[in-house]
C-alpha cells in the first residue's frame, strides 16, 4: 500500500504557506510536499509517497543494516564450510 521511493532534496521553498521541495529521484525530479519533515535540508534523503515526503532516510542506518547483513552472511558461510570439512 505504500509505493514509496527514495529521493534527494535539491531545494526547499514555500507554496501558499506549505513547505515544498524539489526532489531528485535519479534524473527525474518532482515537487514534493515536505510539511512533515520540517527539519529537512537540501542534500538530505527522504522516502516519497503520493507526492509527500514520509520521513527522512538515514544513510547511516542504511549502511549499518547492509554491514550487519554482510557480516552475518560471511559468518554463516564460514559455519557452513566448517560443517562440511
Partner 1 sequence: MTDVNSPDFLKSYRDATLVKKVITQIHQRITQPWTLMEICGGQTHAIMQFGLDQLLPKEIELVHGPGCPVCVTALELIDQALWIARQPEVIFTSFGDMLRVPGSEGDLFSVRAFSGQVRVVYSPLDAVKIADDHPDREVVFFAIGFETTAPANAMAVIQAKKLGLKNFSILPANVLVPPAMHAILANPKNRIQGFLAAGHVCAVMGYWEYPPIAEKYQTPIVVTGFEPLDLVNGILKTITLLEEGQVSVVNAYPRVVTYQGNQAAQTLIKKVFKSVDRNWRGIGTIPKSGFGLQDAYQEFDASKRFDIGKIKTEESEICIAGQILQGLKKPSQCPAFGTLCTPETPLGAPMVSSEGACAAYYRYGRN
Partner 2 sequence: MTQENSDHIQMQGPLCPIPHHHTDTVIISHGSGGQMTHDLIQNIFQDQIGNQYLAEGNDAARILFEQLEGQLAISTDAHVVSPIFYPGGDIGRLSVCGTVNDVAMLGAKPSFLTAAFILEEGFPIQSLYQIVSSIALACKEADVQIVAGDTKVVEKGNADGVFITTTGFGIIPPNRQIGGQFAQTGDAVLISGTLGDHGIAVLQARGDLGFDSGIQSDVAPLNHMITELLEAVPSVHVLRDPTRGGLATSLNEISCQSQIAIKLDEETIPIQPEVRTACEMLGFDPLYLANEGKVIIILPEKYAQKALETIRKSPYGHKAMRIGSVFHDNPGHVFLNTAYGTTRILDMLSGELLPRIC
Instruction: Kindly list the residues in this chain that would bind partner 2 in the complex (CB under 8 A).
Output: 1-3, 5, 25-31, 48-51
26, 58 Cβ separation under 8 angstroms:
no
Residue 29 binding result from partner 1, partner 2, none, given CB thresholds of 5 to 8 Å by partner type: partner 2
| Dist. CA 9–CA 43, nearest whole Å | 5
20-79 positions binding partner 1, by CB under 8 A: 25-27, 33, 35-38, 47, 49-52, 54-55, 57-59, 61-66, 69-70, 72-73, 76-77
| Dist. CA 17–CA 27, nearest whole Å | 28
Indicate the residue among 31 and 64 with the shorter CB distance to partner 2. 31
| Dist. CA 56–CA 10, nearest whole Å | 14
53, 23 Cβ separation under 8 angstroms:
yes
Site residues for partner 1 per CB under 8 A = 1-7, 16-18, 25-27, 33, 35-38, 47, 49-52, 54-55, 57-59, 61-66, 69-70, 72-73, 76-77, 80
Amino acid at each position: 500500500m505504500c509505493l514509496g521511493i527514495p529521493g534527494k532534496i535539491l531545494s526547499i521553498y514555500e507554496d501558499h504557506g506549505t513547505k515544498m521541495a524539489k526532489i531528485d529521484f535519479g534524473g527525474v525530479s518532482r515537487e514534493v510536499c515536505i510539511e512533515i519533515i520540517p527539519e529537512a535540508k537540501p542534500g538530505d534523503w527522504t522516502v516519497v509517497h503520493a507526492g509527500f515526503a514520509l520521513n527522512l532516510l538515514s544513510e547511516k542506518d542504511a549502511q549499518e543494516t547492509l554491514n550487519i547483513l554482510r557480516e552475518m552472511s560471511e559468518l554463516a558461510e564460514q559455519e557452513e564450510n566448517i560443517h562440511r570439512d
